[in-house]
Structure 1
Amino acid sequence: MKKAGILNRHLAGALAELGHGDGVLVCDVGMPVPSGPRVVDLAFRSGVPSFAEVLDGLLDELVVEGATAAAEVRDANAEAAALLDGHFPGLELVPHARLKELSAGARLVVRTGEARPYANVLLRCGVFF
């Protein structure tokens, strides 16, 4: 039994299958989940778990070489925008409609319980060497 890190067996297993260049969409409860990618739905109640909690946990275990978010986050959700800017200095911003299109190519979708708008980011996996 694992004693640290991500304990959810579905999420831990999905992360172990990711490779260089794979996309991981971390999203709020309102983001449309595309058909195709594997989905690990962590949403329990409104706000639980939060976007920040899930993103921080994922970043402890993943190598990320790039990130894309909706430009609308800047005006609609200052807290999420600050979190994303803090983690990803080279954050790419696109219109929300474009983020939804890009998310269809993700390998994994991790749905949080976040109930504030535009708390979504598409991560691009890197390599540790």
Structure 2
Amino acid sequence: MKRAGILNRHLAGALAGLGHGDEVLVCDAGMPIPDGPRVVDLAFRAGVPSFAEVLDGLLAELVVEGATAAAEIREANPAAAALLDAGLPALDLVPHARLKELSARARLVVRTGEARPYANVLLRCGVFF
């Protein structure tokens, strides 16, 4: 049994299979999930687990070289915007409709129980060397 880190076996296994350039969509409970990517649905109740909790756990396990989020996050969800600004190396902002289009190329989707608007980010995996 793992001692620390992400304990969810489906999520831990999916993360282990990612490579350089692969994308992971971390999304709120309302984000439409595209057909195709592997989905690990962590949503339990509204707000549980939160976007912040899941993003924090993922950033502790992944090398992230860039990220994309909806520009609307700045006005509609300043707390989530601040979280992204603080935790990500390079953040691109696009219209929400464009983020939904881009999410179709994600290799993995991690759905949270977040119930605040625009708490979605597409992470681009980097390498540790």
TM-score (norm 1): 0.99
SS at match of 1:53: helix
Structure 2 gap ranges (5+):
none
Q: CA deviation at 1:89?
A: 4.7
Structure 1 position 48 matched with structure 2 position 30 = no
Q: CA offsets, 1:37-71, max 9 Å, x none?
A: 00000000000000000000000000000000000
Within 5 Å, give how 1:87-126 maps onto structure 2.
87-126=87-126
Q: CA deviation at 1:87?
A: 1.1
RMSD across aligned C-alpha pairs, in angstroms?
A: 0.6
In 1, Cα distance between equivalents of 2:5 and 2:119: 22
Structure 1 gap ranges (5+):
none
Q: CA deviation at 1:122?
A: 0.1
Structure 1 position 13 matched with structure 2 position 13 = yes
Number of aligned residue pairs? 129
Residue type of the alignment partner of 2:81: A
In 1, Cα distance between equivalents of 2:84 and 2:125: 16
Residue type of the alignment partner of 1:98: R
Find runs of 4+ consecutive structure 1 residues off by over 4 angstroms: none
Percent of residue pairs identical: 86
In 2, Cα distance between equivalents of 1:84 and 1:8: 23
Contact 2:68 2:92 in 1 (8 A): yes
Within 5 Å, give how 1:25-64 maps onto structure 2.
25-64=25-64
* 2:68 corresponds to: 68
In 1, Cα distance between equivalents of 2:53 and 2:101: 25
Q: CA deviation at 1:90?
A: 2.5
